[in-house]
Amino acid sequence: MNLRKIVTVVEETQAEGGRPVEPAARVAVVAAIIENPWNGQGFVEDLAPGIDANASDLGALLAPRVLDALGEPAEAYGKAAIVGLDGEVEHGSALIHTLKFGDHFRKAADATTLLPAVEKRAPAGVVFDIPLKHITDATIRSHHQTIEVRIADAPHADEIVVALAAASQGRPQQRLASLKTEQ
């Protein structure tokens, strides 16, 4: 894995809807900007060697960092892969949609649900939203949320931004009824 940089963002919401949020709602994102492992190879039929060489290392790098940045137990989580313009969306998907990547985060967060994801191809500086859901029950509405991310100089055309996000709680001031009330 050719790593160019790591970006960490922590957002803390102190008030929402004119009321204090107690405790403050924290969301952390840690993104690794790496060289696309399939860059310059044309269409690659078998992505498995690139997955094997990179996905687990990325998960092992990002999972503890995002939880450290959050500074408290995660209740919601998500992931992202933003591929530079010379790559394919499938390149980002290959890195993040494998247990070799995601299980690092699931184990570190004591989670059981699938990680919600965003993946797309875009130029440097693109704004992207990482969806988050509850770590053990994806039907808990209060934890369906997103965090907006932008890295000014990434991804370069030959890079991929791979990111993990974690939240300490659900949306601030959430008050939607449980999904069970509609079933």
- Which CATH number goes with the domain that contains 16? 3.30.1330.110
Q: What is the pLDDT of residues 135-166, one digit of tens each?
A: 999 889 999 999 999 999 999 999 999 999 99
What integer pLDDT is reported at residue 29 of this predicted model? 98
What integer pLDDT is reported at residue 147 of this predicted model? 98
pTM of the model: 0.95
Task: Report the amino acid identity of residue 99.
Answer: L
What integer pLDDT is reported at residue 54 of this predicted model? 98
What integer pLDDT is reported at residue 178 of this predicted model? 73
What integer pLDDT is reported at residue 39 of this predicted model? 96
Q: What is the pLDDT of residues 166-181, one digit of tens each?
A: 999 999 998 887 777 7
Q: Structural domain tally of the chain?
A: 1
**Residue span of the structural domain in which 166 resides:** 3-182
Residue 52 banded pLDDT, cuts 50, 70, 90: very high
DSSP string, the chain: --EEEEEEEEEEEEEETTEEEEEEEEEEEEEEEEE-TTTTS-S-S--HHHHHHHHHHHHHHHHHHHHHHH-S--SEEEEEEEE-TTS-HHHHHHHHSSHHHHHHHHHHHT--SPPPEEEEE--TT-EEEEEEEESS-TT-GGG-EEEEEE-TT---TTEEEEEEEEESSSSTT--PPPGGGG-
Average pLDDT of span 93-102: 98
What integer pLDDT is reported at residue 115 of this predicted model? 95
